[in-house]
Amino acid sequence: MSGVYARRIGAVAATAALAATTGLLGAPAVQAAMPTPVSASTARSYLSQLTVSSEGSMTGYSRTKFPHWITQSGACNTREVVLERDGKNVEQNSSCAAVSGTWYSEYDGATWTAASDLDIDHMVPLAEAWRSGASSWTNAERQAYANDLTRPQLIAVTDNVNQAKGDKDPADWLPPRTAYQCTYVRAWVHVKHYYNLSVDSAEKSALQSILNNC
């Protein structure tokens, strides 16, 4: 077991064009059920404990080094588990694929009725984790990270909003729905603290600024 687990084993409103996209409903109907992150006060304490350093290199990075989505139970992989968890009245077929349901995207306030309109976001993106310490983990540890259902690390959100986030940290991207930004940074710090990942100085400043107003 590597040191990371030996030591310790988280813009603008949706546009009119998005609102017109097929599958988007007019009013939020449900709330995502991502595991609740630590409180703002605990997140502030956790943030003070994180190592501050410049981001590491992307040399050697590949998403395949974070195997996902793995089978969780029966025919259900991690993506399908999160879709069922975060949605309302979700129905799955014999292959565990979500064929109907309603999903509310916390990042932008959009409500969807087609699973294909949703991505499962890694709160702390895989590439960001790689640059922050995960490059030294084993593939098994990275697999556990990429499929973590216990920490506030996975959430179903509007696909193109997730794609806009990419691998950016909170110094460069925050959910366009400002009401969720406090929860977002609490989750970000929660995940980084649990996995003993570092933060860079701009990232820490952005996190502190939001947490101080939570």
Q: Which residues contact 213 (CB under 8 A, 6 or more apart)?
A: 182
What's the pLDDT tens digit per position in 107-163? 999 999 999 999 999 999 999 999 999 999 999 999 999 999 999 999 999 999 999
State the Cα–Cα distance between residues 1 and 6, nearest whole angstrom: 7
Q: What is the pTM of this model?
A: 0.85
Give the three-class secondary structure for 205: helix
Number of domains in the chain: 1
Mapping DSSP to helix (H, G, I), strand (E, B) and coil, where does residue 25 land?
strand
Tens-digit pLDDT profile for residues 168-194: 999 999 999 999 999 999 999 999 999
Mean pLDDT of 1-19: 34
pLDDT, tens only, 22-79:
333 333 444 558 999 999 999 999 999 999 999 999 999 999 999 999 999 999 999 9
**DSSP H or E segment with residue 88:** strand 87-92
How far separated are the first and last CA of the chain, in Å rounded? 36
Alpha-carbon span 52 to 201, nearest angstrom: 6
Q: Which residue range forms the structural domain that includes residue 87?
A: 3-211
pLDDT value at residue 33: 83
The whole-angstrom separation of Cα 199 and Cα 124 is 11
Q: Report whether pLDDT(165) > 90.
A: yes
- What secondary structure does DSSP assign to 97-159, as a single string? -EEEEEEEETTTTEEES-GGGEEEEESS-HHHHHHTTGGGS-HHHHHHHHT-SSSTTEEEEEH
